[in-house]
Amino acid sequence: MPSQFIANGIVSGCIFALVALGFGLIYHSTKVFHIAHGVVYTASAYVFYSLLILLHLNLILSFIGTLVFSALFGLILERYIYYPLHKRGASMGVVFISSLGVYTVFVNFIAMLYGNETQILSSSAEKAFHFGSVVLTRIQLVEAAAFLLLSSLTLGFLRLTKWGRLIQALADNPQLVSVIGMDVRKIRLLIFSLGSVLAGFAACLVALDVGMDPRVGMNILLIAAVAVIIGGVKVFEGALVGAFLVGLLQNMVIWQVSAKWEHAVTFVLLIVFLLTRPEGILGERRRLEEA
């Protein structure tokens, strides 16, 4: 595959990985299939747009403002939607439907406020850098750098700090954590704000890169969910592996077939994995139907 497509695939993978890392963090540790993660992403992009373009704030302030918004949005969803359901022992289906409801409400709210057309943030051409035969724009390089920075910070946090290890414990053994007396509420709030901030960050970068429309959230959410599943059950790093696989395969399809079919790749990849290796690339081989 020509190096340009590989490069594009890797850059896409970086963005997918950030969103997938957040989604996977939430899914593995709270078992919530957080479809509304997609609208946290979308809303963040539009908040960024509003701060940067409509309110004319500078780049840094807009960024920070958006990240604060993302964290708050995630926190509010957990506090008012997911936690009450968790407390009552609701099944994953109920939580999922609620999440779907949240997604629907906010995505349509955004569409009402901002319209359905694609919104771009800057019409000037981006500075391009040449690496041999590969051309990457400045924003693409920033995306890659952001990925490296944020994923290492996040994984480092999860593996090395006390709170991070609590999150891991919650993922492995939820009953044990509440027995030990750790405040599950606080851990969950942390998980949701962290995951949402990652999505928000990615959303800002993509907004700067290609702009946005109300539907971007669902597309990236699907990719994130598939990435988490094919990457590996119960392993946080799995999301990253899955994300890059999707990114590279999508670009391969764009190169070989046409850009119109890139989304089909995600689905086909999911089906292939469900048929052959449902526990994912990094997952432990075990009977998933096990009681």
Instruction: Determine contact, residues 169/177, Cβ cutoff 8 Å.
Output: yes
Using a 10 angstrom Cβ sphere, with 0-12 exposed, 13-18 middle and 19 or more buried, the burial of residue 271 is: exposed
Q: How many residues bind other proteins (CB under 8 A)?
A: 47
The single residue among 6, 57, 85, 189 that binds other proteins, judged by CB under 8 A, is 85
The single residue among 3, 104, 118, 161 that binds other proteins, judged by CB under 8 A, is 104
Instruction: Determine contact, residues 233/279, Cβ cutoff 8 Å.
Output: yes
The single residue among 51, 102, 204, 235 that binds other proteins, judged by CB under 8 A, is 102
Site for other proteins in 225-284 (CB under 8 A): 225-226, 229, 260-261, 263-264, 266-267, 270-271, 274-275, 278
Distance CA(185)–CA(264), nearest Å, equals 38
Using CB under 8 A as the binding rule, whether residue 98 contacts other proteins is answered as yes
What is the Cα Rg of the chain in Å?
Answer: 19
Q: Tell me the closest approach of the beta carbon of residue 31 to other proteins, in angstroms.
A: 9
The single residue among 54, 59, 61, 92 that binds other proteins, judged by CB under 8 A, is 92
Phi and psi (nearest 5°) for 136?
-130, 135
Number of helices (H), then strands (E), belonging to the chain: the values are: 12, 2
Using CB under 8 A as the binding rule, whether residue 131 contacts other proteins is answered as no
Both structure tokens of 101: 């409801």
Binding region for other proteins (CB under 8 A): 33, 81, 84-85, 90-98, 100-109, 111-112, 218-219, 222, 225-226, 229, 260-261, 263-264, 266-267, 270-271, 274-275, 278, 287-291
